[in-house]
Structure 1
Amino acid sequence: MLFRFFITLSAIIISIPSFAQVTEEMTPPVDIKTIIFTGDTQQSQLPIIKLGDRIVLEFDALNANEDDYYYKIEHFDYDWTPSNLSKAEYMSGYDNQRLRTYENSFNTFQIYSHYNLTIPNEYTRGLIKSGNYMLQIFNDYDEMVFSRKFMIFETNASVGVFIRTSRDVKYLYEKQTVDINISSSSIQFNNPAETVKTLIVQNNNLNTAISNVKPQYTLGNELVYKYTTETSFWGGNEFLNFENKDIKGSNSAIQFIELNELYNNFLFTNYVRGNNPYTYNPDIDGNFVITALDTERPWIEADYAWIHFSLLPDANLMNKNIYVYGNFNNYETNEENKMIFNESRGVYEAQLLLKQGFYNYKYVLVDDNDEIQEGAISGNYNQTDNNYKVLVYYRDLGARYDRLVGVGESNSVNITN
């Protein structure tokens, strides 16, 4: 009887499906600010780097305690479920090390410690597999403080990216379509509908990325994507911007300044742009740059200021969930950057503590289904200058992880029909 019990129990365990959990980034606490995560050759806050290149993480801790922080690196498959690789298979050296490089702020009202981590380093000598990664930062109590995604790619596939106006005439003036050509001289794409996966990213925002679109045509070893709707993005509008490198002076974006415990920079009130004709306004695709006037080391000499945002709504935006976001907060929508309606002024308001610099930002609406509607306030225009990246993953039959075999990039400034 006991033998039959174990046989039955084993059969039940085997029959239970195992579902790997998708891992999401962790939002930092309020005392962790200005997370800058870049690669060698690009300054966007989503590192997509070539195998063998380095990544650099910087952030400020505003608690003035000179706390110790530690980092860990995990490898993931295309869908952000943990891969089957052991740490020794994707990493040369080891992680779980303390961040040893940090400096305290100098001559600032807001006291902070600035931390810097570069990989490879003497402990983590290199990451030796392509694919998706997560960099996780922990405190002394082994509690995760925040995490950030990054990707490492090989150069085994050529990825052509072409930005077109929408093929759906209903959205001809509002959407942009991404056409893709993938080819390789070193990889034979076996059963590409199952083994090849793509990720299309607009302005380094993973929240709006289009994933897992299958090849529409196969011409020999070339994969072609020319869809009408599946690879279309809303055009959006150019990002708004402000610069406060002179924290004491107003300019074309900053209306006036007040000094309390910290400087307060009040931006001019913005308005709903969706009902107006498109106007070209150069931006840096949602990014930000830390800079401060008359400083040699802006990473520790730039101060923090309360930035006051305000938006004059139209009738359609009353009693709605509106947020101000950009790459400076990883395109997140949370209580910290949610706008509150000021009845006395008739505007939505938000104040964010940001380090001196040049910032792109945008107002977005989150609907009742928790979907982000960027165009509800800014409008959608096919002329908008957007950056697009296409990541190509491949897992051959019998392979144990998803390789990132190629990356392509284009800009809609050269959009064609």
Structure 2
Amino acid sequence: MVRKSCLISALTAILVFCLPEAAGRNPVAVYAPSFHTLQVTAADNDMAPAVIRHGSDDRIAISFDEIASEPRYLRYELIHCDADWHPDRLMASEYLPDGFNEAPVDDYEYSRATTVHYVNYRITLPDDRMNPTLSGNYLVRVYDESEPDSTLLTAGFSIVEPLARIEANVTGRTDIDRNASHQQLSLAVETVGSGVSAPATDLIVKIRQNNRTDNEVTLISPSSLRGPQAIYEHMPQLIFPGGKEYRRFETVNLRFPGQGVESYLYAHPFYHATLNPDVPRKDTPYSYDSTSQGRFRVRASATASPRSEADYVLTHFTLRMPEIKDAEVYVEGDLTLRRFDQTSRMVYNHAAGQYECTLLLKQGAYNYCYLAVPHGTTEALTGPVEGDSHATVNEYTVFVYHNPPGGRYQRLIGMATVTAGR
């Protein structure tokens, strides 16, 4: 058993180096064009993040579809990662009780009464076969059983030991403007009882705005120590452009255009949804709207099982504005996996004077926005299209990792979410 476990760990180490480069930082990615609607959430709440409290009954769910008539023999591999979502050097036997980190994806459903045939797959963790024991980040790599070296998609979740006490505050009165276009965070992290002996050097703090990874902030040292607390305040890295509220549309009922939808058309083999044309908001006053900060929910009218009965719709986005010469414009949100690639990139139609993009999306209620990525950079900007306001409702999620000298892995010892704006 020991020799077999070591062999599996060695094979895992080889496969780690075959992972696509994008597995780091943003672990949620699809690499095969037939796979769609990848969601990674809490198992009992598809609006909650994929985070498990160590030692609890929490579970996460990974759901995805393949546009196909028959299921594949899929398997997945569970890999422990560092704070940047890069695989670390732990062997599977160090974070799984029996040392086996691969299992079949055997929870699947055929689509029913849909124009597009697909198979929905679901992975729920932990389960009897895969019950990780260490905190930190975990990458799930899905592959075809017949091609184990070829990655179809990846997903990520975290296990947190709630040992650090995090106090997070956000304000529109920042070090660069007051109640204008930015929001600024301040943090206090107390690590008493967490095993952290040197909080000034042994903590890694990460902050995400609305689950975006392009502007994720990493802090490796506090601005000061105050008794048992590591303080992070008046730091330029903690000032974020406010953006505007996410835009919304619904394709729940394909007979009647829902919110944000101009018209439907069926042209074999797909339904087509043309969304209402969008315009820039950078020069318009801030307006509150109740959104879910870029998330989406699969929904379809007259069915209690949208997992297998929601249809697929070619969804057409248009953004009417002059071309931005020095940047690319992307559709951003969970609907594009928060990635800036050829799928989410908008193409400028000079004849129509607008940006255009078409996405194949499952019926549901969606949030999205338009971000501009200047040429030669990787961080997206809200300002050129959406504009920025200090009053915007944004979610800031804070992750605190313990990274002791000589440690073999980075423990996740705290997580907190603070909401800015109204």
Common topology (TM > 0.5):
yes
TM-score (normalizing by structure 1): 0.89
The match for 1:278 is 286
Kindly provide the amino acid, as one letter, of the partner of residue 43 in structure 1: D
Query: Which of the residues 59, 72, 76 maps onto 2:64?
Result: 59
Kindly provide the amino acid, as one letter, of the partner of residue 396 in structure 2: Y
Q: Is the 8 A contact 2:40 2:156 kept in 1?
A: no
Query: Which of the residues 206, 217, 226 maps onto 1:199?
Result: 206
The match for 1:236 is 243
The match for 2:158 is 151
Distance 1:330 1:252, change over 3 A: closer
Q: Is the 8 A contact 1:45 1:327 kept in 2?
A: no
Q: Secondary structure at the match of 1:110?
A: coil
The match for 2:135 is 130
Q: Is the 8 A contact 2:142 2:153 kept in 1?
A: yes
Q: Is the 8 A contact 1:37 1:45 kept in 2?
A: no
- Counterpart CA distance in 2 for 1:27 and 1:59 is 10
Indicate whether 1:76 and 2:81 are aligned.
yes
Q: Secondary structure at the match of 1:378?
A: coil
- Counterpart CA distance in 2 for 1:298 and 1:374 is 32
The match for 2:410 is 402
The match for 2:196 is 189
Q: Secondary structure at the match of 2:89?
A: coil
1:327 positional shift = 0.9
Kindly provide the amino acid, as one letter, of the partner of residue 70 in structure 2: N
The match for 2:94 is 89
- Counterpart CA distance in 2 for 1:66 and 1:79 is 33
The match for 2:265 is 258
Distance 1:396 1:366, change over 3 A: closer
The match for 2:40 is 37
Identity across the alignment (%): 26
Q: What CA deviation, in whole Å up to 9, does each residue of 1:352-376 have, x standing for no partner?
A: 1100000001111121113322221
TM-score (normalizing by structure 2): 0.88
Residues 159-170 of structure 1 aligned to structure 2 (within 5 Å): 159-170=166-177
Residues 361-376 of structure 1 aligned to structure 2 (within 5 Å): 361-371=368-378, 372-376=380-384
Q: Secondary structure at the match of 1:206?
A: coil
1:188 positional shift = 5.3
Query: Which of the residues 349, 354, 357 maps onto 2:361?
Result: 354
The match for 1:210 is 217
Q: Is the 8 A contact 1:271 1:311 kept in 2?
A: yes
Kindly provide the amino acid, as one letter, of the partner of residue 114 in structure 2: T
- Which residues of structure 1 form unaligned runs of 5+? 1-20
The match for 1:325 is 332
Distance 1:121 1:173, change over 3 A: same
1:204 positional shift = 1.3
The match for 2:11 is none
- Counterpart CA distance in 2 for 1:51 and 1:231 is 28
1:332 positional shift = 0.7
1:379 positional shift = 0.5
Kindly provide the amino acid, as one letter, of the partner of residue 284 in structure 2: N
Kindly provide the amino acid, as one letter, of the partner of residue 128 in structure 1: T
Q: Is the 8 A contact 2:251 2:363 kept in 1?
A: yes
The match for 1:392 is 400
Kindly provide the amino acid, as one letter, of the partner of residue 321 in structure 1: E
1:324 positional shift = 1.0
- Counterpart CA distance in 2 for 1:45 and 1:62 is 26
Q: What CA deviation, in whole Å up to 9, does each residue of 1:284-328 have, x standing for no partner?
A: 0000000000012110000001111000113x6257421112112
Indicate whether 1:296 and 2:299 are aligned.
no
1:193 positional shift = 2.5
Q: Is the 8 A contact 1:308 1:350 kept in 2?
A: yes
Q: Secondary structure at the match of 1:173?
A: coil
The match for 1:115 is 121
The CA RMSD over aligned residues, in Å, is 2.0
Q: Secondary structure at the match of 1:230?
A: helix
- Which residues of structure 2 form unaligned runs of 5+? 1-20
- Counterpart CA distance in 1 for 2:128 and 2:196 is 37
- Counterpart CA distance in 2 for 1:344 and 1:396 is 58
- Counterpart CA distance in 2 for 1:31 and 1:176 is 39
| Segments ≥4 residues shifted beyond 4 Å | none
1:164 positional shift = 1.4
Kindly provide the amino acid, as one letter, of the partner of residue 325 in structure 1: E
Distance 1:45 1:344, change over 3 A: farther
Q: Is the 8 A contact 1:47 1:55 kept in 2?
A: yes
1:252 positional shift = 3.7
The match for 1:104 is 110
1:349 positional shift = 1.0
The match for 1:344 is 351
Q: Is the 8 A contact 2:23 2:154 kept in 1?
A: no
Indicate whether 1:380 and 2:388 are aligned.
yes
- Counterpart CA distance in 2 for 1:319 and 1:206 is 22
- Counterpart CA distance in 1 for 2:331 and 2:399 is 28
- Counterpart CA distance in 2 for 1:101 and 1:403 is 30
Distance 1:163 1:43, change over 3 A: farther
1:75 positional shift = 0.7
